[in-house]
Amino acid sequence: MSITQEFKQFILRGNVVDLAVGIVIGTAFAKIVDSLVRDIFMPIIGVMTGGFDVSGQTLTLYKDARLGWGNFLQTIITFLIIGFCMFLVVKAVNTLHTYVLKDTGTKTDEPTTSEKLLMEIRDLLKEQKK
């Protein structure tokens, strides 16, 4: 198989296409959350702290060397919001999965041969102890 055919087979796999779509949507979602933090939450925090703008805060280390701790703090807040939103999405999908498929997580199938054998061994060990 030639390298072009292998590449074509690799790129057209469902997993690769799903991953690409996920990355594009994730990037767009990150921009939305970044705007939410920068344009909505941080001004509210600024009002609550008396006009203190966190994003522009720096600490001068030596002459022109500055530590941008405010921007770092804003990035951490953005990360926490994205993490919380992803948690809510996964929780919603799991709830939907349970609701739609009636997946209660309980096992209704008959035990496998290995499970039956293990149960017999367990019962025999219990009898030996008596």
Give CA–CA dist 92/30, Å, rounded. 19
- CB-based burial of residue 33 (10 Å sphere; 0-12 exposed, 13-18 middle, 19+ buried)? buried
DSSP state at residue 66: E
pLDDT at 85: 78
Output the average pLDDT for the chain. Answer: 82
| pLDDT at res. 106 | 57
| 39 DSSP β-pair partners | none
pLDDT mean over 97-108: 68
Query: How far is it, in rounded angstroms, from Cα 73 to Cα 57?
Result: 10
What is the model's pTM? 0.51
| pLDDT tens per residue, range 120-129 | 999 998 898 8
Q: Does domain 3-129 have CATH number 3.40.50.300?
A: no
Q: Domain coordinates of the chain in residue numbers?
A: 3-129
